[in-house]
């Protein structure tokens, strides 16, 4: 897919997307509760999505095929 849809139940301060080597590839400050992120320019691989709010961090991942 060319886009990743990120839906949140509560607002976060920022969202960061990292590749498998830990390089930051996207950064969104003050994201909306629903963000559509274009990933067409990223190579295939595993990516980690990091959500940050009030000093706490949550991480999930997705694979681009």
Domains and CATH numbers, the chain: 3-64 (2.60.40.3080)
Residue 49 neighbours by CB distance under 10 Å = 19
Give pTM, 2 decimals: 0.90
CA distance 65 to 50: 20
One pLDDT digit (tens) per residue for the chain, 65 residues: 699 999 999 999 999 999 999 999 999 999 999 999 999 999 999 999 999 999 999 999 999 99
Classify burial at 63, counting beta carbons within 10 Å of its beta carbon; exposed 0-12, middle 13-18, buried 19 or more: exposed
Catalogue the E-assigned strands of 1-65: 3-7, 14-19, 24-29, 34-38, 45-53, 56-64
């Amino acid at each position: 897919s060319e886009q990743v849809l990120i839906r949140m139940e509560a607002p976060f301060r920022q969202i960061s997307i990292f590749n498998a080597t830990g390089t930051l590839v996207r950064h969104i400050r003050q994201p909306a509760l629903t963000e559509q992120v274009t990933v067409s320019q990223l190579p295939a691989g595993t990516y980690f999505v990091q959500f940050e709010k009030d000093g706490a961090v949550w991480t999930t991942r997705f694979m681009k095929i």
